[in-house]
Amino acid sequence: MAKRLTEILSDLFSEWGSALSPARPKPVEKRSLNIVIALPDERVITVGRLTVADTRFVFSYSDEFKKLELPPLPGFPNKEERYESDVLFPFFKVRLPPKSRDDVMRVMKERNVDDKDIFEILRVLGRKTLTSPYELQTSPNHPAFASENK
């Protein structure tokens, strides 16, 4: 199943003019993104958190989401498990736009985003997508993102 998903994602990235190469984090201090979703009753809940520390990605579900009878995210079937990887999980990688696009490079330059910092690219350019109901949000108390949370 995972191998087939990798093949599908590889084909998709190729169509977008990008390769499905491993997205490894740049060694950095611990940073986090919350994954949130708006429910039909208009409540916004935190689904989970993606964290990067040193060169490891970690995803875990929030206690709030675990209590709800909602299906798990693709690639993270067990709501009780903590997932760790040296490369960005496919669920998040598909949110990264190709760096070969001029508009993407322009925004990265304007926002001083290091093109080798996969987590920062995800934070800046992968927050919302047209094809996913999930949104990525930075922790409001994280000092690295203080200017965006004023």
**Domain residue spans of the chain:** 2-140
How far, in Å, CA of 18 to CA of 35, rounded?
Answer: 25
Asked if 149 and 140 count as a contact pair (C-beta separation under 8 A), the reply is yes
Sequence-separated (6 or more) residues with CB below 8 Å from residue 114: 26, 120
Structure confidence at residue 4 as a pLDDT band (50, 70, 90): low
As a whole-number percent, the residues of the chain with pLDDT over 90 amount to: 41
> How is residue 63 written in tokens?
């206690």
Higher pLDDT, 74 or 5: 74
**Predicted pLDDT at 5:** 63
Angle (deg, nearest 10), helices 118-125 and 102-110: 100
Q: Given a cut of 70, is residue 46 above it in pLDDT? A: yes
- Coil, strand, or helix at residue 74? coil
pLDDT digits (tens, 9 = 90+) for 10-35: 665 555 555 555 555 555 568 899 99
pLDDT digits (tens, 9 = 90+) for 69-127: 999 999 999 999 999 999 999 999 999 888 888 888 898 899 898 888 888 888 888 88
Sequence-separated (6 or more) residues with CB below 8 Å from residue 121: 96, 99, 108, 113, 115
pTM for the structure as a whole: 0.71
Q: Which of 79, 88, 87, 92 is nearest to 132 (CA)?
A: 92
